[in-house]
Amino acid sequence: MGLGGRRSEILGALLIVGFAIMATVSARHMSITGDEVTHLPAGYSYVATGDYRMNPQHPPLMKYLAGVPLSWMQLDSPRSHPGWRETREWAFGKAVLARSGERLADVVFCGRLPMVAVATLLALVLLVWATELWGANAALFVGLVYATSPNFLAHGAIVHTDAGLAAFGTLTIYWLWKFGRSGSLAYTVGAGVALGLCLLAKYSGLVFAGLVPMILCGFVWNGSVSRRRAMVAGVLILLIGGTLVQVLFEYPHGLGSYWHGVGLIHADANSHWRGFLWGDYSADGFYSYYLLAQLWKTPLPVLIAAMAATVACLRRPSNGSHWWILLLPIFAFHAAGAWQRASIGVRHILPAFPFLFLLSGGFARWCLDGSLMRRGVLIALCVWQVAGTVRMAPHFLPFFNELAGGPNDGIAYLDDSNIEWGQAYYDVVSYLEREQPDKVKMFAFEPIDRSHYGIDAPTARLEDAVLPEPGTTYLIGASYLQRSSLFPRREGVRFEWLERYEPIERIGWSIYSYRFSTDPADQGDREVVYVRRDQWYSDAIEQLERMLARHPDFEYAEKVLEDVRARRRAEFGSK
């Protein structure tokens, strides 16, 4: 692999372009996802009116960037939409998207393009930094694992705040690292600007702000810079970052607006929500959620390389100045995740991933400097990484690695934005056009009404969950198959299909298709789920009786149970 410097630059550029192309394809392929319903229209309103009233629980930068292309599309004025005057962001967001009509796909896609640009900037930062850390050839491995990272190909292609935070946060630490190596205060300007953008991307950018003095103290401790120089650098970085927030966030009220927004972070939280992790549910979240989520949602070649590099550092810390500055952000975001316990998606620790990629570059350097066998191991990891991503294309969001059984089994470990976030409605349309089912019912996460995609399917109800109609095609979202309840305050009222039935198809690994039959002639037919008629009724009655034992006042379930019993008596007599 002894590539010349020029050749490495060309390959690095190809990796960056390749990522941008795949992320753009991903942006076009996905239907609108959960947070985009508020983020994208809010960003449009910022650009069109200069008013930041919508979605104040997240800073404006990424939303503003997404709104810029929409300002060129001659959409209706934000002030004319329902919800604007009362600051009802969800009603406003849905109205903006609904009024776009046939241009909905183009509106969403154009809003996503700046997100792709920011994620592509991160690819460039990682290649540059990895080259300085490990050399040009090892940097190509870092570029490859980022360019084929399912998490960034998914989350870097939709309008939300996490990928932007990862990009600007990584850039902040990079400039800090440059300062620590040279002592030049010129690098503090870049760090300050990057930190300001980081804070404007997401409020958890405060984690990176907290890392700045910690890293500067580390430089003083290892003798990289003097105490006085570190103090001056810290003041400059925080001053530049704070000034950027003050100017770009509703000037002259920037910092005041920022702290007001910090207090609203959980303003739209669902009080009835319960987190899911590996078979367990909790209203308070899980301390281990993000550690396990990263374990299951990171491609194994990256985990192997990063862990091997870390072990090598602990055994021979010759490059200690490199290692601690890469490990610190990973620990910081996992600590913040354990403290917050939001437990709704690996995207919340997306800023930890770039540092994991950079760590893996240390292993690549060790392989390239070693024997032919080591180089063979590195090649094998590259092939594994690329193959694992190609098999997911273009459905990158529900990626799970082999430790979790891949995307087929990921539903047993995590739900929510890890697997189903509303991104697969175009795939549903294609499925319905191909299969042409006679009757369809649906129950899935629905950021906007499915009629906007031309899907005409009533919503599955409790009676469908316990006693599905033979011949009807059911399209059930992965998260709702795994939810602890289909009704607020009715724990245990849920689909039990994952435990009982194998779906006939997994649409984009996020929406499961079922078609049931009680006809013995269909036994063994892979196009249907066959259930014996007597078992059909007894399973429904058993499930409903368990619901009523838990919720005696659940009149709807009582009515369904009476109906099921009456139908069984009519068919089987008093049995």
Give the chain's length.
575
Q: Residue 156 is encoded by which pair of tokens?
A: 């870097």
Cβ proximity of 143 and 130 under 8 Å: yes
Could you list the mean pLDDT of each consecutive 10-residue stretch along the chain, which spans 575 residues?
71 97 98 96 96 94 97 92 93 94 95 98 98 95 98 97 98 97 95 98 97 96 93 97 94 89 78 85 92 97 94 64 88 93 91 97 94 95 97 96 96 95 97 96 96 95 95 95 85 91 96 96 92 93 95 96 95 75
Instruction: Give the 3-state secondary structure of 252-314.
Output: CCHHHHHHHHHCCCCCCCCCCCCEEECCEEECCCCCCHHHHHHHHHCCHHHHHHHHHHHHHHH
- What torsion, rounded to 10 degrees, do the Cα atoms 288, 294, 300, 302 define? -130
Distance CA 142, CA 11 (A): 12
How confident is the model at residue 6, as a pLDDT? 86
Exposure class string for 191-219: b at 16+ Cβ within 10 A, else e:
bbbbbbbbbbbbbbbebbbebbeebbebb
Cβ proximity of 472 and 440 under 8 Å: yes
Q: Where are the alpha helices (DSSP H) in 50-103?
A: 61-70, 89-99
Query: By C-alpha distance, which of 266, 280, 224, 284 is closest to 415?
Result: 280
Exposure class string for 529-547: b at 16+ Cβ within 10 A, else e:
bbbeeeebbebbbebbeeb
Torsion 276-280-285-289 (CA) sign: negative
Longest CA–CA span in the chain (Å) reads: 90
Residues 332, 337, 341: CA angle, nearest 5 degrees: 160
Distance CA 447, CA 35 (A): 8
Say how many C-beta atoms besides its own lie within 10 A of residue 376's C-beta: 11
Q: How many helices (H) and strands (E) does the chain have?
A: 24, 7
Query: Which is it for strands 440-443 and 473-477: parallel, antiparallel or unpaired?
Result: parallel
Cβ proximity of 501 and 514 under 8 Å: yes
- The pTM of this model reads 0.95
Q: Which helix (H) or strand (E) holds 522?
A: none
Distance CA 193, CA 115 (A): 19
Cβ proximity of 194 and 229 under 8 Å: no
Cβ proximity of 329 and 169 under 8 Å: yes
Distance CA 422, CA 30 (A): 8
Distance CA 35, CA 377 (A): 40
How confident is the model at residue 317, as a pLDDT? 56
Task: Report in angstroms the alpha-carbon separations of 20 from 13, 128, 261, 438.
Answer: 11, 17, 32, 40
How much of the chain is helix, strand and coil, in % rounded to 5? Answer: 65, 5, 30
Cβ proximity of 84 and 51 under 8 Å: no
| Domain boundaries, given as residue ranges, for the chain | 5-390, 425-572
How confident is the model at residue 2, as a pLDDT? 44
Distance CA 257, CA 270 (A): 24
DSSP 453: G
Query: What's the one-letter identity of residue 442?
Result: M
Please report where in the chains the tokens 């063994």 appear, as a residue. 524
